[in-house]
Structure 1
Amino acid sequence: MGEPDVAANFFAKPQHLVKVNRRRRMNIWRSGQGSPTVVLAPGFMAVTADWARVQPALARTAQVVSYDHAGQGFSDPGPLPRSPARTAADLKAALVRDGIEPPYVLVGLSMGSFEVRHFAHQYPGEVVGMVLVDPSFDDMAKRLLKVTPSDQVWIESQFTHLKRCELAAKAGDLRPGTDAYAACVFQPQPDLTEALNKTYHDMSLQASYWRSLASEFSFAARDKADWPLADMPLIVLSAGDRERPPRPPEEVEAIQRVYADAHEQLAALSSRGARRVVPNSKHAIQWDRPQAVIDAVREVIAAVCGGPA
């Protein structure tokens, strides 16, 4: 089988549904062989397709797992709140049920930084390495609001938008031609297949999808997961050309310094931690510069195994 393209129908159906308990299933994409297993944790609104440019390459030399959070992609909705601790517990349950044994190298995309660090704390001894891809960081909202107080309005509006979409979906108001439909429902993209466009469209019609996102977003602004990682091999990748918000130049520079300082602090959680700036990459490094993610994961595996990945 060839490597799946993000535009292909491979992502228009579940890759593999695994029970996390008697009532719920998680969709996972499992490929490759070997140990340690690489686990790709999604960022906000991300699904397995978001790793299409990374997972196939890694799977040539390692077993790799990506997955959809509860209520997103093809995973069944889960109970609230959708905290990083709870999503980490869901991941653990899926790995156990599917017979995917430790050790694990965890890769956290954006908000996935919280989840993988919670996982390492909840299941000590199972995680042997970590890569954080332009990660969210502890007290993120508080630290950013110090340099851009006006962002409080943006944070509140984002949460309000997610809740409005949830309520509109629950009431059956996401109908073509309405303002709610235009604001909430995924619009077809010309570079995706008809089946994949329909998949994303149908997902965005579900109240459970928006409920999950709203709960996850509420934690991202205030979560803390600053447990030390001892001497675990750790690489933090920072976007070299992160999207610049419409702010005065001095505020934009202040935001960049907050990210740089926070990412240095994350790298310092391990005595073997390192931060790398990825040139010509915006926040979604796994899209813009997938090879940087692939290389970082392989470097961590090599450090774990004591030889080339």
Structure 2
Amino acid sequence: MMRTALIAAMLASASVYAAPPAGQDALAGPQVKVDVGGRKLNMYCTGKGLPTVLFEADTGRAGWDWSAVLPEVAQRTRACVYDRAGFGSSDPIIRASTVANSSKDLNFLIKNARMEGPFVLVGAGYGAMIAQHFALRSRGANVAGLVLVEPMHEDALPADRSAKLDAVVACLTAAEQGKPGAGCAYPASSINGEIGPALAAAQTAQTAKLTYWRARASELDGLETSADQLRKARKPFGDIRVSEVQQAEPAAIIAAVTQLLEAR
């Protein structure tokens, strides 16, 4: 009887993680660590061809958020995700997490990893701000296109950003005291699709790290500064193709990236 109950429980648990995207487990742990000046960022690439599609996650999130999109894009060309400082398997932050600092890190990442352009940058929310700042301010980087997924705009920051920062600071305090707070989980994302057990475990482990909450708090705390940085960098994109996706769903994002690739 006990054995039957155990098997039933295992089957029920397995159904929760039904059919995660192929290769998703690779995103749950460190892959290639690239030095960006005193610390290393974790990066994972798959597929072949040009342009290279590089994904930028939303605020407080790691590269694994693109687990449902990455393999589909990789069927057409080279596709890469990475973790900003403090997230995923990257080293902790050593300075304020702003759009300009993240843009600098991305520039170092591309150069030191010897990534081949041209590049199509795909950014979600806050990540769309980073992608745009990089495209506008980087020198020598061949950015051919931008796909902006529910982009955060420098002149229309989220009205609830202060409340979100308070909640994250509360989670940071709880983590410092070794008492995980209620609601201090890795935020759900519609971009992810199905989450397998390895990735689910990695996300749970992430929220136990002080470095995660510090980085997440720093991004939220620096939103006004980040908005001002992008505002100052703002100018016409010139030859860079720009596509906006207002629905953060894998199918919509894949379609926008595919359309941009085919338009080259």
TM range (shorter): 0.7 to 0.9
Residues 1:210 and 2:213 are matched in the alignment = yes
Residues 1:219 and 2:222 are matched in the alignment = yes
Q: CA deviation at 1:54?
A: 1.0
Contact map agreement 2:60 2:215 (CA 8 A) in 1 = no
TM-score calculated relative to the size of structure 2: 0.79
Moved more, 214-223 or 291-300: 214-223
Residues 1:294 and 2:254 are matched in the alignment = yes
Tell me the number of residue pairs that the alignment of Structure 1 and Structure 2 aligns.
Answer: 234
Aligned partner letter, 1:81: A
Q: CA deviation at 1:49?
A: 2.0
Give the counterpart of 2:169 among 157, 163, 174. Answer: 163
| Matches of 1:95 and 1:293, distance apart in 2 | 23
Any unmatched runs of 5+ in structure 1? 145-150, 240-284, 305-309
Q: CA deviation at 1:235?
A: 0.7
Q: 1:53 to 1:197 in 2, by over 3 A?
A: closer
Residues 1:199 and 2:202 are matched in the alignment = yes
Aligned partner letter, 2:178: L
Aligned residue runs from structure 1 range 103-142, under 5 A: 103-124=118-139, 126-141=142-157
Contact map agreement 1:185 1:205 (CA 8 A) in 2 = no
| Matches of 1:6 and 1:43, distance apart in 2 | 22
Q: CA deviation at 1:185?
A: 4.7
Q: 1:291 to 1:197 in 2, by over 3 A?
A: closer
| Matches of 1:197 and 1:131, distance apart in 2 | 27
Aligned partner letter, 1:196: L
Q: CA deviation at 1:122?
A: 2.1
Q: Could you say which residue in structure 2 is the equivalent of 1:17? A: 33
Aligned residue runs from structure 1 range 89-108, under 5 A: 89-108=104-123
| Matches of 1:293 and 1:104, distance apart in 2 | 16
Aligned residue runs from structure 1 range 1-309, under 5 A: 5=21, 9-21=25-37, 23-124=38-139, 126-141=142-157, 151=159, 154-170=160-176, 173-175=177-179, 180-185=180-185, 194-220=197-223, 223-224=227-228, 225=230, 226-239=234-247, 285=248, 288=249, 290-304=250-264
Aligned partner letter, 2:262: A
Q: 1:181 to 1:107 in 2, by over 3 A?
A: same
Provide Cα deviations, 1:145-202, integer angstroms capped at 9, x if missing partner: xxxxxx5xx43221112122223323xx233xxxx53232559xxx755543432222
Q: 1:4 to 1:33 in 2, by over 3 A?
A: farther
Provide Cα deviations, 1:230-285, integer angstroms capped at 9, x if missing partner: 2321111113xxxxxxxxxxxxxxxxxxxxxxxxxxxxxxxxxxxxxxxxxxxxx2
Q: CA deviation at 1:303?
A: 2.7
> What SS does the corresponding residue of 1:105 show, helix, strand or coil?
strand
Q: CA deviation at 1:215?
A: 1.4
| Matches of 1:194 and 1:292, distance apart in 2 | 25
- Misfit runs of 4+, over 4 Å: 191-195
| Matches of 2:172 and 2:202, distance apart in 1 | 18
Aligned partner letter, 1:11: L
| Matches of 2:258 and 2:198, distance apart in 1 | 33
Contact map agreement 1:174 1:185 (CA 8 A) in 2 = no
Any unmatched runs of 5+ in structure 2? 1-18, 188-193
Q: 1:192 to 1:53 in 2, by over 3 A?
A: closer
TM-score calculated relative to the size of structure 1: 0.68
Q: CA RMSD in A?
A: 2.5
| Matches of 2:165 and 2:222, distance apart in 1 | 11
Q: 1:9 to 1:38 in 2, by over 3 A?
A: closer
The higher relative CO (CA closer than 8 Å, separation ≥ 6) is in 2
Q: 1:41 to 1:71 in 2, by over 3 A?
A: same
Q: CA deviation at 1:204?
A: 1.0
Q: CA deviation at 1:211?
A: 1.2
Contact map agreement 1:163 1:210 (CA 8 A) in 2 = yes
Contact map agreement 2:56 2:63 (CA 8 A) in 1 = no
Q: Could you say which residue in structure 2 is the equivalent of 1:307? A: none
